[in-house]
Amino acid sequence: MLEYELLDKSNYMAYYQIVQQSRWGNLLLPYEYDSKLWGVIVLDGDIVVGGWVGWLRGNGRFVSLLAKSVYFDSYPLYNGRNEEEIKIKIVERATFFAKQQGIVMFNLTHWVREKGGIFPFSKREQNATFTIDLSLSEEDIWKGIEPTQRNRIRKGEKNGVTVLALNADNSIAYLDAFQKLRKQTQARAIEKNANASMLLKSNDFFNRLLRQPNSLLFVGMVGEEVATVVLMLTGGKTAYYYSGGSDYELNKSTGSSALVFWRAILHYKNHTEVDCFDMGGVPVFQDYQN
């Protein structure tokens, strides 16, 4: 008989490991337990077989009185018999524990990729995202890229753009350039669309993120100048584009961004067990025409 209990430090690593074997995973789940994590674990005897874990927010001394909530980057995970029934049970037990602890809201972030129609809170939502099947041959992936982007990739190669794939201390060395180009790119997006979202994250946040074993920072160099930065995170068998940016003039003249993404795709295809490259997306509701 399955049992349900709250996440804690003792059962976290077992949950983390089964998440990494799943299709979509959870890209923001840290390698080590964090006290801000909150969720429900499913046990079959003493073996962790599923669960649902997110980030607890509003847990401060004063804010928690108004907005204590949990943000989930994935749907509940369970792959055994009666899958849908157990997933619904996970949500029910999570709701029960949340009420006991004064948590007032569950939120699904835009990273959720699985179909969640079995849950009442997600029947109207679909994800719009661009993914690449890395099980395809390199030739077939290349054929699926728009001709204009293929030309930009060739332009980047012709102009001698160098692409680095970095993690941990090697990527931290480019943190300042990453933040600069990321913020410049977001500012340009807002000039075009006032409703464009801003990713308001500090150097400390990205410092921790870049040190996670599931992160890779791809850096496009033109000579000694940083032209493009792309931060990728893996969750399960999927690599997700998390954030990035470019120097507008350098990218325009050299094609650096297209080449960086192409090299990132090839890196995950040829050097990892990842089978899907996710370019990012946003929730799309049926009420919207486009």
Return per-residue pLDDT of the chain as tens, 290 residues.
899 999 999 999 999 999 999 988 999 999 999 999 999 999 999 999 999 999 999 755 544 445 789 999 999 999 888 999 999 999 999 999 999 999 999 998 888 877 656 665 554 445 556 889 999 999 999 999 999 999 999 999 999 999 999 999 999 999 999 999 999 988 887 777 666 566 667 889 999 999 999 999 999 999 999 999 999 999 999 999 999 999 999 999 999 999 999 999 999 999 999 999 998 755 444 443 33
Residue ranges, comma separated, of all CATH 3.40.630.30 domains in the chain are 2-123, 129-283
Among the listed residues 69, 44, 64, 65, the one whose alpha carbon sits nearest the alpha carbon of residue 54: 69
CATH topology classification for 2-123: Aminopeptidase (3.40.630)
pLDDT value at residue 200: 65
pLDDT value at residue 100: 95
Tokens 């990132």 correspond to 264
pTM for the model: 0.86
CATH topology classification for 129-283: Aminopeptidase (3.40.630)
pLDDT value at residue 287: 42
Tokens of 8: 């804690």
pLDDT value at residue 115: 63
pLDDT value at residue 289: 38
pLDDT value at residue 187: 85
